[in-house]
Amino acid sequence: MKTFIKSFVFLLFFIYTECAFTCDYQYRQLTKGWFKLYEVPETWQDARLRCRLQGAVLASPTSSAMAAEMKHTMKNFFIQDTEIFTGIHATFSSGSYYTVDGIPLSKIPLVWANNEPDNFENKERCITFNSNGSAADRMCEEPRPYICFRSGEKEVPTNRCGTVDDGYQYFKETKKCYKFHREPRKFDRAHFVCSAENGHLAIINSAHEAEVLKKVFGDNPASSMAGSFDKAVAIIGFYDWGSWGDWTTIHEETLKEAGYDRFSDGEPNNGTTGEDCGSIWRTGLLNDISCNQPAAFICEKDPAYPPVCQPKTDEEIEINERFNNEVE
């Protein structure tokens, strides 16, 4: 009887975790992995970073199956005469090409386009791929579309926050997830990182949420951050749009409309070089900060966005946990 129950629970477990990764990625059986094409061109470095922040890598045609799936993905998006970036690069040292996950060029069955590779003007460090299957070396700085790829079985374990990134922590007070980034970035790059993680720079919608952010900040003392930068401040999602003083969230609400507008005493002060970007002090009170000042930052994510293909309800999570306990 117990065996029967176990196999029944196992079946449930299997059904509910099938196809569990964010639905913006498509699972492809042939290469056992998830694909997502980004149509908006980016530099190679940004393409690489965006894929990485999603728990994926910049896709490379490392086998004939991968090349076929990449061509298929491009055709689905009607990308015909455009070259996309692959993960094959020589940005560490010229001529030494590897995929982002370390496969050397000599092991990759590339078909080169006419007169390629030529390392034109000794400036080409990245490999592109065309929907007709040919490769070329190109400048990494010239923006192009690209494909992110996550290798593996269908069942990708996503967490309570709907992501593979366990840096995100769920807070029941706001029903939102937050991640504190300890590596300092300027406002625009912090915005890029939160967006790539399917979140946004944190927006404070209530005094409760300010308390949550204060706690998140408190869990990351200055001693936990390396490097010399101001560890008393963290960038969040508000911005001065107009002549100085027009503070709105990155979702275009006034701070009051958003639900929290408590600046620290003496702030905003438009400090030395001018301050048009938003941040908080460890007190949870607001401060204006220079958009050029790198600082730690806090991302906020809705656990339901983007949807996971087979979202688990709490009951199902319980069943899984019971199953796991039985197995142990």
Ligand X SMILES: *[C@@H]1O[C@H](CO)[C@@H](O)[C@H](O)[C@H]1NC(C)=O
Q: Is 137 in the site for Ca ion (CB under 5 A)?
A: yes
Give yes or no for a contact between 290 and 268, defined as CB atoms under 8 angstroms apart.
no
Out of 3, 29, 106, 114, which residue is the one contacting ligand X (CB under 6 A)?
114
Whose tokens are 């593979």? That residue is 164
Nearest distance from residue 136's CB to Ca ion, in Å? 5
Cβ closer to ligand X: 37 or 308? 37
Q: Is 291 in the site for ligand X (CB under 6 A)?
A: no
Which residues are within 8 A (CB) of 280 and not within 5 positions of it... i.e. 6 or more apart?
Answer: 204, 210, 213, 214, 217, 233, 234, 236, 286, 287, 298
Q: Is 212 in the site for Ca ion (CB under 5 A)?
A: no
Spatial CA neighbour of 24 closest among 308, 323, 318, 315: 308
101-120 positions binding Ca ion, by CB under 5 A: 116, 118, 120
Q: Is 130 in the site for ligand X (CB under 6 A)?
A: yes
Half-sphere exposure of 144 (CA within 13 A, CB side): 27
Which of Ca ion, ligand X, none lies near 218, with the C-beta cut-off 5 to 8 A by kind? none
Cβ closer to ligand X: 16 or 129? 129
Distance (Å, whole) CA 104 – CA 246 = 52
Q: Is 78 in the site for ligand X (CB under 6 A)?
A: no
Q: Is 80 in the site for ligand X (CB under 6 A)?
A: no
Q: Is 82 in the site for ligand X (CB under 6 A)?
A: no
Distance (Å, whole) CA 312 – CA 165 = 17
Cβ closer to Ca ion: 7 or 269? 269
Q: Is 276 in the site for Ca ion (CB under 5 A)?
A: no
Which of Ca ion, ligand X, none lies near 269, with the C-beta cut-off 5 to 8 A by kind? Ca ion
Distance (Å, whole) CA 218 – CA 229 = 17
* Helix intervals (H) in 88-175: none
Q: Strand pairing partners for 38?
A: 146
Give yes or no for a contact between 326 and 6, defined as CB atoms under 8 angstroms apart.
yes
Q: Is 203 in the site for Ca ion (CB under 5 A)?
A: yes
Any idea what DSSP says for residue 241? Answer: -
Q: Is 290 in the site for ligand X (CB under 6 A)?
A: no
* Helix intervals (H) in the chain: 2-17, 44-53, 64-76, 187-196, 207-218, 255-258, 314-327
Which of Ca ion, ligand X, none lies near 219, with the C-beta cut-off 5 to 8 A by kind? none
Give the range of 66-74, 230-238, 268-276, 300-308 binding ligand X by CB under 6 A.
268-276
Q: Is 134 in the site for ligand X (CB under 6 A)?
A: yes
Out of 9, 19, 68, 113, which residue is the one contacting ligand X (CB under 6 A)?
113
What separation, in Å, do the N-terminal and C-terminal C-alpha atoms of the chain show? 18
Out of 45, 159, 264, 270, which residue is the one contacting ligand X (CB under 6 A)?
270
Out of 94, 96, 119, 132, which residue is the one contacting ligand X (CB under 6 A)?
132
Q: Which residues bind ligand X (CB under 6 A)?
A: 81, 113-114, 130, 132, 134, 244, 270, 273-274
